[in-house]
Amino acid sequence: DVKVTQSSRYLVKRTGEKVFLECVQDMDHENMFWYRQDPGLGLRLIYFSYDVKMKEKGDIPEGYSVSREKKERFSLILESASTNQTSMYLCASSLAGPNGYTFGSGTRLTVV
Is residue 110 part of the contact set for other proteins (CB under 8 A)? no
Residue 109 touches other proteins, criterion: CB under 8 A:
no
Give the distance from CA 90 to its chain's centroid.
5
Q: DSSP state, 23?
A: E
- Max Cα-Cα span within the chain: 39
Measured from the CB atom, the residue of 6 and 85 that comes closer to other proteins is: 6
Footprint (CB under 8 A) of other proteins, residues 50-89: 50, 59, 88
Q: Using alpha carbons only, how large is the chain's radius of gyration in Å?
A: 13
> Contact residues for other proteins (CB under 8 A)?
4, 30-31, 35, 40-43, 45, 48, 50, 59, 88, 90, 92, 94, 96-106, 108
